[in-house]
């Protein structure tokens, strides 16, 4: 399967979640086993030699491919969730969004200073949530952070929000 074929499986939803937005809906690609195999294989190819020890997925669509990649790499999966969703002691960070503020959390015993972490989400738009996730993971004093997206909306220039030491990769660009 080619990138163009995968792109053809991503549906545009006009005026969602608000008027003027064209939402890239990856659920149509996720239901296609060939697209899922493409995502799995390409993510593995990118990260198999990076020394990753944990794959962190961001709620909710980051939970689709992050555990698959963790399994393929033979490493653990760690969720980052919205406030109030994790049952044990957490570390949290608040960050600004277009319409206010949000808080994300991670279990306090999820990572340590020996970890090399790949943080995954489905789509990079403005980068606010992923930037907050990176700042949250940095609180553990980990060795290195890699960031990955399946899709990047290049015109929004979201990758500019990340610190220079963070390697950012996206499989598909619009």
Q: Which of 115, 100, 108, 121 is nearest to 171 (CA)?
A: 121
* Structure tokens belonging to residue 38: 């493409």
Phi first, then psi: what are they for 119, rounded to 5°?
-100, 125
Residues belonging to the active site: 61, 98
- The string of DSSP codes covering 26-63 is THHHHT-HHHHHHHHHHHHHHHTTTT--EEEEETTTHH
Helix (H) / strand (E) element for 125: namely none
């Amino acid at each position: 399967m080619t990138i163009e074929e995968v792109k053809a499986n991503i549906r545009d939803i006009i005026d969602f979640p608000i008027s003027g937005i064209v939402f890239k809906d990856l659920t149509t690609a996720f239901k296609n086993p060939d697209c899922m195999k493409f995502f799995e294989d390409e993510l593995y190819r990118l990260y198999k030699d990076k020394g990753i020890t944990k794959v962190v997925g961001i709620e909710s669509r980051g939970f689709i491919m992050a555990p698959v990649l963790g399994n393929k790499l033979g490493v653990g999966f760690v969720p980052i969730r919205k406030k109030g969703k994790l049952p044990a002691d957490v570390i949290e960070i608040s960050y600004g969004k277009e319409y206010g503020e949000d808080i994300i959390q991670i279990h306090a015993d999820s990572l340590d200073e020996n970890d090399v972490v790949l943080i995954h989400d489905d789509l990079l738009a403005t980068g606010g949530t992923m930037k907050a996730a990176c700042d949250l993971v940095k609180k553990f004093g980990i060795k290195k952070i890699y960031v990955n997206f399946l899709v990047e909306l290049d015109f929004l220039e979201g990758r500019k929000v990340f610190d220079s030491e963070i390697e950012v990769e996206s499989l598909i660009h619009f």
